[in-house]
Amino acid sequence: MKNVVLCVTGGVAAYKALELVSRLKKHNINVDVAMTKSAQEFVTPLSFQSLSQNPVITDMFDEPKAYEIAHISLAKKADVFAVVPATANIIGKMAHGISDDFISTSIMATKAEVLIAPAMNTQMYASPMVQENIAKLKSIGYTFVSPGAGRLACGDVGEGKLAVVDDIFDEIMKLLYPKKDFAGRKVIVTAGGTEAPVDPVRVLTNRSSGKMGIALAKALKDRGADVTLIHGHLTASVPDGIKTVSALTNEQMDHEILKCYDDTDMVIMAAAVSDFKVREISKHKIKKSEDSFTLELVKDKDILKGLGEKKKNQILIGFAAESQDLEAHAREKLERKNLDFIAANDISEGMVFGKEKNSIILYAKDGKMTAFGELSKEESAHRLLDEIMKEVTRRDQTTGL
Ligand SMILES: Cc1cc2nc3c(=O)[nH]c(=O)nc-3n(C[C@H](O)[C@H](O)[C@H](O)COP(=O)(O)O)c2cc1C
């Protein structure tokens, strides 16, 4: 049986967590409820106890006898910790490593997935403190079910209303039963910026952080793929458990991809590969004796185009950062490089490099266009995989697999 620890904190929406308990119980999921002191001002523990059919934890130092040390035993037993509703206070405590009550302590002690559904006044939600704390927790890997907009209990109208229980329930189910739709598929993802050497100590490179490629590799791994991340220079860190191969130059990256290309089901080129290289790399460090000198650059290999030419059954996905005529350029690249999809980013409003969010428009070989809207790179990665999976399913059906 799956175990959810439902952490209820002190907001008006606390009563909605009752419905969540009953939804989970109907799906034969064990629910242990913990409530902060403030939460008990809004709903009684007895209501949660009746619905969950378990004792409710209301104080770290007043633990039911049935548990050894409740915050440790529940932290170990849980498959998912769900904080519903999550106050600005608990979000702040979690983001700063404060553990002064049962909920903040147990979450710190758990290896389980953590889901947070914030609910609060619109101004509180929009405040830089809350937004920074949410960004930090997202970067740790916690799942957020964002609040909706509407009329709040305080009379304000805007964002901050607890997400609908159906959506929170769906997200918990996804964490409890993750989809493994990419199981058995071999995928290469490239990430980061490549370097073009100038002399033994200097390189020409770009500002790619590698975040999008890393998010894709992580999403693919979570969805069961056999994924290899071939990466250039990265400023973001790669989560544990992802196979990585370092390839700093265009040539190395091309070589590493081609080594396993024939045996690969799909390649997602999210790396920012250098278009130019230095015609003659100096053997020795260039001295600063001259006031100026000229570097001659020549076009480097177009890796993606090469892959398009060698393509058999692989699905090939490219990325395009465009500052003008996004659609025309993206479609032209899709065609010229023999790709199946191209994920285009409009960079005219500011660079996407290094940012947490992007806004992808996906163009498919069959002419279909899908705009994802502004999403975190993790969410964009899953949306992209959903679209690729539709193509995989279509091909499996045509080949009768
Ligand atoms: C009537 C009332 C409603 C409140 N609603 C919310 C809310 O929706 N979200 C929130 O973050 N804080 C809300 N608060 C403030 C929290 O209860 C307060 O910050 C408290 O310290 C939270 O404690 P906890 O995070 O330990 O539950 C509310 C307070 C009152 C008195």
**Single residue among 142, 176, 210 that ends a domain in this structure:** 176
Contacts of residue 282, defined as CB under 8 A and 6 or more positions apart, other chains included, come to 198, 199, 200
CA of 8 to the centre of ligand 1 (A): 11
What are the pocket residues of ligand 1 if the criterion is a CB atom closer than 6 Å to any ligand atom? 9-13, 36, 38-39, 87-90, 119-120
Which of 16, 89, 93, when mutated, tests ligand 1's pocket best, judged by the most ligand atoms within 8 Å of its CB?
Answer: 89
Ligand 1 atom 14, closest CA: 11
Tokens of 42: 């809004």
- State which ligand 1 atom lies nearest to the alpha carbon of 13: 8
First-last CA distance in the chain: 33
Specify whether 153 is located in the same domain as 213: no
Specify whether 138 is located in the same domain as 32: yes
- State which ligand 1 atom lies nearest to the alpha carbon of 9: 27
**Single residue among 124, 141, 176 that ends a domain in this structure:** 176
**Single residue among 131, 148, 176 that ends a domain in this structure:** 176
Specify whether 217 is located in the same domain as 262: yes
What span, in angstroms and rounded, lies between the C-alpha atoms of 146 and 117? Answer: 6
Query: Which among 247, 249, 383 is positioned nearest to 317, based on CA atoms?
Result: 383
154 in catalytic set: yes
pLDDT in 10s for each residue of the chain, 401 residues: 899 999 999 999 999 999 999 999 999 899 999 999 999 999 999 999 999 999 999 987 765 555 556 667 888 899 999 999 999 999 999 999 999 999 999 999 999 999 999 999 999 999 999 999 999 999 888 999 999 877 777 777 788 999 999 999 989 998 998 889 999 999 999 999 999 999 999 999 998 999 999 999 999 998 999 999 999 999 988 987 899 999 999 999 999 999 999 999 999 999 999 999 999 999 999 988 888 889 999 999 999 999 999 999 999 999 998 878 899 999 999 999 999 999 998 877 665 566 778 889 999 999 999 999 888 888 899 999 999 999 999 998 887 65
Give the residue numbers spanning the domain of 345.
186-398
CA of 89 to the centre of ligand 1 (A): 8
Other C-beta atoms closer than 10 Å to the C-beta of 379 total 18
pLDDT at 324 (0 to 100): 83
**Do the domain assignments include residue 181?**
no
Strands (E), 70-198: 80-86, 113-118, 143-144, 148-151, 157-161, 186-191, 196-197
pLDDT at 152 (0 to 100): 73
Digit-coded pLDDT (tens) for 264-303? 999 999 999 999 999 999 999 998 888 888 999 999 999 9
CA of 26 to the centre of ligand 1 (A): 29
**Do the domain assignments include residue 265?**
yes
pLDDT at 68 (0 to 100): 59
Specify whether 232 is located in the same domain as 129: no
CA of 38 to the centre of ligand 1 (A): 7
Per the DSSP assignment, residues forming a β-bridge with 230 are 190, 245
Specify whether 55 is located in the same domain as 203: no
What span, in angstroms and rounded, lies between the C-alpha atoms of 278 and 195? Answer: 10
**Do the domain assignments include residue 301?**
yes
Q: The domain spanning residue 351 has which CATH number? A: 3.40.50.10300
**Do the domain assignments include residue 280?**
yes
Indicate the pTM of the whole model. 0.65
Specify whether 144 is located in the same domain as 238: no
Ligand 1 atom 1, closest CA: 12
Q: Which amino acid is at 36?
A: T
Tell me how far CA of residue 317 lies from CA of 234, 267, 340, 388, in angstroms. Answer: 20, 6, 6, 9
What would the DSSP string read from start to end of 3-38?
EEEEEE-SSGGGGHHHHHHHHHHHTT-EEEEEE-TT
Specify whether 326 is located in the same domain as 254: yes
Q: The domain spanning residue 172 has which CATH number? A: 3.40.50.1950
**Do the domain assignments include residue 120?**
yes
pLDDT at 66 (0 to 100): 54
Which of 38, 91, 104, 122, when mutated, tests ligand 1's pocket best, judged by the most ligand atoms within 8 Å of its CB?
Answer: 38
The half-sphere exposure of 243 on its side-chain side, counting CA atoms within 13 A, is 10
Per the DSSP assignment, residues forming a β-bridge with 3 are 30
Contacts of residue 284, defined as CB under 8 A and 6 or more positions apart, other chains included, come to 199, 200
Structurally, the chain folds into a number of domains equal to 2
CA of 320 to the centre of ligand 1 (A): 45
Specify whether 251 is located in the same domain as 392: yes
pLDDT at 378 (0 to 100): 84
Tell me how far CA of residue 399 lies from CA of 211, 313, 314, 392, 394, in angstroms. Answer: 35, 11, 14, 11, 9
- State which ligand 1 atom lies nearest to the alpha carbon of 87: 11
Specify whether 157 is located in the same domain as 193: no
**Do the domain assignments include residue 212?**
yes
Specify whether 26 is located in the same domain as 156: yes
| SS3 (DSSP) at 72 | helix
**List 154, 183, 258, 351, catalytic entry:** 154
Specify whether 140 is located in the same domain as 288: no
Specify whether 160 is located in the same domain as 248: no
